[in-house]
């Protein structure tokens, strides 16, 4: 397996997974409650699917998608614009030595699941799977 900055050759550590999940839940709560002072951001209902942290826990990448998938570019811009306030709100609820830098990416997991479902609905694929 290739090594990148978010995981070692063995994958993310238990600590990375635990902290990522804590950040994910906290970030989702902050966004759901509308704690950020940006009415444009608060208009969107945003799902935080996953948060991956770097091994040193200084960078956290949140994979997000707006409800219904509409306005994805706007949501990313708004999250980027408010990342300092989001970072403070997340840090207030965590007991980490350093508050991680937040980065945001679109969560494409739902799109891949839809593509997989469509593929399995094709007659020729269904025939191959059944045989």
β-pair type (101-106, 59-66): parallel
Tokens of 94: 């965590």
Residue 4 belongs to a domain: no
Residue 112 belongs to a domain: yes
Answer yes or no: are the C-beta atoms of 23 and 48 closer than 8 Å.
no
| pLDDT-derived band at 1, boundaries 50, 70, 90 | very low
**Average pLDDT value for residue range 97-113:** 82
Residue of 36, 26, 103, 101 lying closest to 64 (CA atoms):
103
Higher pLDDT, 123 or 73: 73
Residue 111 belongs to a domain: yes
Residue of 95, 89, 80, 92 lying closest to 18 (CA atoms):
95
Instruction: Provide the number of structural domains found in the chain.
Output: 1
CA dist., res. 55 & res. 67, Å (int): 30
DSSP string across 63-124:
EEEEGGGTTHHHHHHHHHHTHHHHHHHHHHH---SSPPEEEEEE--HHHHHHHHHHHHHSHH
**Average pLDDT value for residue range 64-89:** 92
Residue of 39, 53, 33, 45 lying closest to 72 (CA atoms):
45
Residue 114 sits in a domain whose CATH number is 3.30.300.20
Residue 9 belongs to a domain: no
Tokens of 130: 């059944």
Higher pLDDT, 131 or 20: 20
Residue 6 belongs to a domain: no
Q: Which domain holds residue 21?
A: 14-130
9-47 residue pLDDT tens: 678 899 999 999 999 999 999 999 999 999 999 999 999
């Amino acid at each position: 397996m290739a090594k990148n900055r978010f995981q070692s050759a063995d994958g993310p550590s238990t600590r990375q997974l635990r902290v990522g999940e804590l950040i994910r839940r906290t970030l989702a709560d902050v966004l759901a409650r509308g704690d950020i002072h940006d009415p444009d951001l608060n208009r969107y209902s945003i799902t935080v699917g996953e948060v991956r942290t770097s091994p040193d826990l200084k960078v956290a990448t949140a994979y997000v998608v707006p409800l219904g998938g509409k306005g994805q570019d706007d949501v990313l811009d708004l999250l980027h614009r408010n990342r300092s306030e989001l970072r403070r709100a997340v840090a207030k609820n965590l007991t980490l030595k350093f508050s991680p830098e937040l980065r945001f990416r679109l969560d494409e997991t739902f799109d891949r699941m839809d593509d997989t479902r469509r593929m399995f609905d094709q007659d020729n694929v269904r025939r191959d799977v059944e045989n």
